[in-house]
Structure 1
C-alpha cells in the first residue's frame, strides 16, 4: 500500500460511522478510511481539510452521511465542531454535496 495514495471511494453515500468511537485517533481513522484518504493524513482538522479540498469534482453529486455522532462522548462531539465547518466549506465549493447526520 502506498502511504501517500488515496483509495478510490465510489460509495454514495459516503458513510462516516462514529458509533462506539471514544478516542481521537479512532475518530480521525474512521474519517480517513471513509473517504479513502492516504495513510499519511494527519490526525487533525487541518489535515482533513487538506485531504478533502479538491477531493470532489465541483459538479459531482455525492452525499456524506454521518452516523453515530450522538453516541460519542460529549468531549469528542465538542472536538468535532471544526468538522462541521469543513463540511460547510466543502458544500460552498461543491454545491451538489449533501451532508446529513443520522442519530
Structure 2
C-alpha cells in the first residue's frame, strides 16, 4: 500500500472552528463545506473520489493517507475526540465498501 503524508499541527488549534479551518486548508474542501463533524466526515470520505470534488487532494483506491498529527497529547479533549471520531467514521465507510482504510494516523510530539 502506497502512502501519501499530510501533516496536521495542533499547536495553534484551540477550538473546533480552527480545526475545521485547518483541515479545510490541508485537504482543500469546497467552500460550501459546513463547519461540523458530519460535513468533515463527508468531505474526508471523498479522498478516493476526485469526481465528487470534496477534496483537492486525492488518493487512488489502493493508496492511503498517512495523517501525521503533531501535538495531539497537548490538544484540548474536544479536538482529540473529534479527530479520532472523524478518522474512525471515514475508515469505517471504506471498510463497509470493501476497501482499505483511507487514513492511518502517525502521532508525533
Does the pair score TM above 0.5? yes
State whether structure 2 residue 18 is matched by structure 1 residue 26: yes
Moved more, 93-102 or 37-46: 93-102
Superposed CA offset, 1:1-54 (max 9, x none): xxxxxxxxxxx3111221121121101111111111122211111111111223
SS at match of 1:54: helix
Superposed CA offset, 1:60-84 (max 9, x none): 2432212222222234334444224
SS at match of 2:63: coil
Partner residue in 2 for 1:3: none
State whether structure 2 residue 44 is matched by structure 1 residue 52: yes
State whether structure 2 residue 109 is matched by structure 1 residue 98: no
- Contact persistence 1:22–1:73 (CA under 8 A): yes
- Contact persistence 2:16–2:78 (CA under 8 A): no
TM-score (norm. length: structure 1): 0.68
TM-score (norm. length: structure 2): 0.65
For residues 98 and 43 of structure 1, the distance between their equivalents in structure 2, rounded to whole angstroms, comes to 23
Q: Which runs of 5+ in 2 are unaligned?
A: 49-59
